[in-house]
Chains A and B, each alone.
Chain A
Amino acid sequence: MTNSTFLQHIFSGRDTHILLHEEAPISSQIRILIDDIRSGKNTHIELDTFYDSFDLYQDLQHKKKRVQQAIAPLDMHAPDYISLATEIQQISEEESIMRANILDLALSLDKMRDSEKIQQIKQAYTQGSLKQVEDILPEDYLITQFNQYLHNQQQLEQVSEQLVDNANEFLVKAEITNLNYEREDRFEKAIFYYEKGQISVKVSKKLSHIAAYQYDYAFFLQRHFVFPQARTLYLESLEIKRTLNREDPGEHAFDLSMILNNLGILCSNTNEFAEAVSFFEESLLIRRKLAENEPEYRHEVAATLNNLSVLHSDTNDHEKARSTIKEALEIKRTVAEAQPALYLSSLAMTLNNYGELLRENSDFIQAQIYFQEALTIQRQLVTDNPEELLPEIAATLNNSALSYALQNRFSLAQAQYEEAIAIRKELAQKNKQAYLPDAAMAMNNLGELFRTQHQFEAAESLYQDALEAQRQLAIENPQTFLIDVAMTLNNLGELFRMQDQFSLAQPRYEEAIEIERKLVEIAPPAYLPYLAGTLNNLAILKKDQGEYQEAARCFKESLAIYQQSAEVNPEVFLPDVAMALNNLAELHTQQESFHLAASRYEEALDLYSSLAEEDAQAFLPGVIITASNLSILYINHLPDQKVSVKMARLTLASAIQLEEVSPMVKNCFHSVIKILKAWGEDPAAMLRELTDEQSPES
């Protein structure tokens, strides 16, 4: 007897008048009947003959009839009336329950696999002998089923543990395979084993093991720059750990903070800054709580603060970057005082980072104080541990040199760059892979210093040395070092363009663009800004050569990239959008499309003005350049005295707010003075007026 036949048979075998539809599953229809009976909605009297065919139901009916006969002659006020009426009520309720149970049992029997005992039960049920069903189904049968269930659970647990073991075997196999330097496909094969292990651990359903496995796999992928997959795995691990942490915070809190921290680093690497901030902040919150009870976590708090500060700095949120790193610094000073041997060099690193931040904010004098303190600590420690401290000293020297360069203190900058290069070159002799990239970077920086001083020969020589080193590194590890090659090629292009050596500049830009396009295919968010920058520089070159159509194509592509990037990270890329708009407007001016130029300049000016409201010192130069360009446009090409003077006035008003004035700003300043004179205005009076307006008294 098949299950469906069983149900059909028991209903059709009796004259039930049951209204079953052929098109719907019979079991579903019966389930509805049961629900109706239990909710008291409908007793389905058409089924009465069906229930009547069951012996136990008949017994109940007989009992009910007897009581009904007993109550019939009685007056409502008779002494037994109430008890008999109550009995009828109880029997009716039992009847209702039994009806539902008869149907329920039919469904349960239908689902059961046919063992010998079940077949006997089904047979008895079909004959309506519920008494016989009861006899076949003694109490110990239920106990047997429970025992079987428990045994099954034990076996499940055992197999689940074995699956975790199997996953761990694959994990170890993956890591060993990745060590086998003789295998060319070791990375791919390691991934194959990681994937296999992942299947086992997931089937095991052991949440903490799944979380740990996904974390290990993600960490491996992150170390090999496979960011999207690493991210997915981290997120899976994170979700599980969050659940576990809610149940047992003490056990999982630090692990959770670790996943969040690594996700923050990963998102920083892929330029997903807003998410990175959110991950770091959550990690920080957990670590702060941990440090409240266990002070050894204080250093971990400082580490996350340090990472967060770097991120805020990268997203131009200087205020937050500064307050975050200040707190990290305070913690590190405390822990370094308590345990100098362990934490002094870490303190020096944070001092250097703080200096970098101040340098980025153009607070050069303060920056030097921190660089010097870092260098003093590092030079003290270097005698005991030269191998660890020399790279740190070179890093601080490089940063400090850049700070000096930006203050136009070229000889101090040059001396520090040269010391940094010498240290890194020496270190690179022992370990090329680790130190040659940094040596190349320092050479690049010194080259840049020479370029700004118009010492073109010295600059070219340094750029070429850096490029040679970077090309060498890129052969072995293209994914990491090709971008450095592209960057130095771009710098060389700039160097040649400054000397009007267009034929030398163009191939450098073009090679850089070719590399950047390839890298964009691998990881668009990370490399698109580099591509946009080089396209912008090539466009300027094309414009200088009079190839306006090609220049327009490059400018527009660059602008489109910056706009696309600004949609995701406005705080980082809006200044680039403004710059690209200004450059494109300049091109339109040269193409004599003056109205188009005016419109682009105005867009750029709007953006710079909004940005300057947030950070005047950083973005007022942009306002000055764009406003002066508009002033020139409205005197030379679209004569309009009112607008031209208004823009000149804006240029002057912005310039007098600046603490540091670059040569470019000076040029703009002088240009608008001439324009104002040409319009018959008195620039000196205007300046006095503007100065009075901005003085603290007014």
Chain B
Amino acid sequence: MEHRFQHIHSGGDTHIGILFYIRNHVSIEHEISNIVSGLNTDIRIHEYFQRSPDYQKLLDRIAAQRARVQALAEDGGNTHLFEAKKLAELEKAAVAFKTGALRLAETFLKIDVRTERLQKARDLFEQGLISEADKVLVESELLHDQDALIAKMEYLEKRKVQILDTIIALNKS
């Protein structure tokens, strides 16, 4: 007997591409369930991962590791067992990559993409360039912006109190 997770599907902005396709044609939960179960995904999603250099890089590493395991197994001994463990980890990473990418698609569909950085990250995501999208969101810049915005917010909040006090005082006098 299995519980199942359900997730919010709310509107996002309009952007033609894989995100638009996902929003209108597939159930993310269903596709994730397919990926986890090792089943075929929707054709457009399948094509998306085929085009993604990041995913292809991961597949290349899996293929190389598989060949290494096979070669070591043919040589005899136990070394291939250690390498087989690494292969299993990579295969697991491939599944996690695909499900995580679909969750990211869901996030892009849900949030308002208003900053230049988010727009760039989304465009790169559309092309399957996920590590490039990561580079756009520079940690130090995000933190710097955050500090500045919080400071500005605090200043404006204080200013609001001051102006209000003045208005109250003026009204009473």
Q: Which of B114-144 contact A (CB under 8 A)?
A: 114-115, 117-118, 121, 130-131, 133-134, 137, 139, 142-143
From B37, B111, B133, contact of A434 by CB (8 A) = B37
User: Which of B17-25, B42-50, B64-72, B90-98 forms contacts with chain A?
Assistant: B90-98
Q: When A108-B168, A258-B6 are in contact, do A212 and B104 touch as well, CB less than 8 Å?
A: no
**CB pair B118 A169 closer than 8 Å:** yes
- A458 on the interface (CB 8 Å rule)? no
Determine the residue in chain A with the shortest Cβ distance to B167. Answer: A145
Shortest Cβ distance from residue B20 to the other chain A in the assembled complex, whole angstroms: 18
A356 to B2, CA, bound (A): 11
Q: Work out how many contacts link A and B, with CB atoms closer than 8 A.
A: 197
Give the distance to chain A from B35, nearest Cβ to Cβ, in Å.
9
- Closest residue of B by beta carbon distance from A147: B163
How far is A258 from B4 in the complex, measured between Cα atoms in Å? 12
Q: Do residues B104 and A145 form an inter-chain contact, with CB atoms below 8 A?
A: no
Judge whether A111 and B160 touch: CB under 8 Å.
no
Q: Report the bound CA distance from A475 to B165 in whole Å.
A: 64
A105 touches B173 (CB 8 A): yes
Known: A176-B134, A199-B146. A163 touches B163 (CB 8 A): no
B residues less than 8 Å from A181 (CB atoms):
58, 90, 93, 96-97
Contact with B along A505-533 (1 / 0, CB 8 A): 00000000000000000000000000000
Q: 1/0 contact trace for A162-182 toward B, CB 8 Å?
A: 111110111111011111110
- Distance in Å from the Cβ of A463 to the closest Cβ of chain B? 22
- Which residues, 150 to 170 on A, are CB-close (under 8 Å) to B? 152-153, 155-156, 159-166, 168-170
Residue of B nearest to A268 (CB): B3
Query: Are A169 and B153 in contact (CB-based, < 8 A)?
Result: no
A665-697 vs B, CB cutoff 8 Å, 1 = contact: the mask equals 000000000000000000000000000000000
Alpha-carbon distance between A684 and B62 when the two chains are bound, in angstroms: 74
Interface range, B side: 35 or more
Distance in angstroms between the alpha carbons of A353 and B143 in the assembled complex: 49
Q: Quick check: is B16 within 8 A (CB to CB) of the other chain?
A: no
Among A155, A165, A219, the residue within 8 A (CB) of B114 is: A165
Query: Which residues of chain B have C-beta atoms less than 8 A from A101's C-beta?
Result: 172-173
**What are the residues of chain A within 8 A of B110 when measuring CB–CB?**
212
Indicate if the CB atoms of B160 and A160 lie closer than 8 Å: no
Contact between A166 and B153, CB atoms less than 8 A apart: no
Q: Which residues of A are in contact with B by a Cβ distance under 8 Å?
A: 101, 104-105, 107-109, 111-113, 133, 137, 141-142, 145-146, 148-149, 152-153, 155-156, 159-166, 168-173, 175-181, 193, 196, 199-200, 203-204, 212, 215-216, 219, 222-223, 254-255, 258, 261-262, 265, 268, 300, 303, 307, 310, 313, 349, 352-353, 356, 387-388, 391, 427, 430-435, 475-476
The 8 tightest CB contacts between A and B, nearest first, are: A108-B169, A431-B38, A181-B93, A387-B39, A105-B173, A179-B100, A173-B137, A168-B111
